[in-house]
Structure 1
Amino acid sequence: MCLIPGTDDRAAEPARIRLAAAAAAVATVGAGLGLRAVAAGNLAKYGGDALYTVLLLALVVLVAPRVTPLTAAASALAVSWGVEFLQLSEVTGELSRRSEVARLVLGSTFNPPDLFWYAVGAAAGWLVHTAVGPYRARRRTEPG
């Protein structure tokens, strides 16, 4: 069943994927805010780290709806790690002092355990994307 008038299902697939990715991004931000509201300490911090990478994965899929789950997860993990390693320089600290948004997005201080929790987020996002993504349905219907 096609949800977009005037298009067939195959042409509408990227639009449906983008819609799902946008919904996942909003849900992830909500989960992160909810986690911060009800939890503190390491649970809030490291849970937020994992959700940060899940959000990046959703944004990758939003921009490139035909990306494979592994590529989306690897891209999100690479960006997460890149931002974390950038914190070894003075760039993120300076930007964080000037902007609340920069502080939320870039952080300010390198923390090695964050690297592990970003990987946890990438793995969780990969699992969900693999389980519910269009690739699962395509594998079942392809001959071979």
Structure 2
Amino acid sequence: MTRALPPGPRAPAARRRSAAALALAAVIAAGLTVHGLGPDGAVTDITGDALYAVAAFAAGVLIAPRAATLPVAGLAAAWCVGVELLQLTAVPSALAAWFRPIALVLGTGFDARDLVVYVAAVVVAAVIDAAVRSRRAAQTPAHSD
């Protein structure tokens, strides 16, 4: 009879990475749905921006599942702000003219409101991540070797 071993040091990171992968897939699906089916307007734009920021946060967790929440949030916010500022140049539009799907990642036109939405959405994602991590840590029994 095999006895189940207690979770090792990689278990929390593996669970966090799996959760991030599922969240990222769901957020991308929601974002594509909003983009494809939503009416043009402020609500659709804000929703898409928020989903983009949450996707950036989830991608950060997927890449570095052992990283603390705050650095992941900082990098996600920096990515979003950087992409928005890049839209002040002609680069995203030129790339989107060459390959249209690039517009989904880099956008094409600067909007200062997007900066606020990105930061707010990253904060919400970080608060949820920190709460889940805290809850899981409280539920995990301490192991003594």
TM-score (norm 2): 0.83
Q: Please state how far the C-alpha of 1:140 moved relative to its aligned partner.
A: 7.0
How far apart, CA to CA, are the structure 2 residues paired with 1:40 and 1:89? 23
Q: Which amino acid aligns with 2:9?
A: R
Give the secondary structure class of the aligned counterpart of 2:109: coil
Which residues of 2 match residues 1-144 of structure 1 at below 5 A?
8-36=7-35, 37-133=37-133, 135-138=134-137
| CA–CA distance in structure 2, aligned partners of residues 73 and 139 of structure 1 | 22
SS class of match (2:48): helix
Task: Write the deviation string for residues 24-68 of structure 1: whole angstroms up to 9, x where unpaired.
Answer: 101111222333425541111111101101001000000000111
Aligned-partner Cα distance in 2 for 1:131–1:8? 20
Unaligned runs of 5+ in 2: none
SS at match of 2:88: coil
Moved more, 114-123 or 55-64: 114-123
Flag the structure with higher helix content: 1
Question: Following TM superposition, where does structure 1 have runs of at least 4 consecutive aligned residues deviating by more than 2 angstroms?
Answer: 5-13, 33-40, 135-143
Give the distance between the partners of 1:74 and 1:11, measured in 2 at CA.
24
**Whose Rg is larger?**
2
Give the SS at the match of 1:10. coil
Q: What is the Cα deviation at residue 142 of structure 1?
A: 9.2
> Residues 53-111 of structure 1: CA distance to partner in whole angstroms, max 9, x if unpaired?
10010000000001112211111110000000011111111111111221110011111
Query: What is the aligned-residue identity percentage?
Result: 36
CA distance in 1, matches of 2:46, 2:54: 13
Query: Aligned with 1:55: secondary structure?
Result: helix
Q: CA RMSD in A?
A: 2.4
Number of equivalent positions: 138
CA–CA distance in 1 between the matches of 2:34 and 2:109?
21
Name the CA distance, whole Å, in 2 between partners of 1:6 and 1:39.
Answer: 52
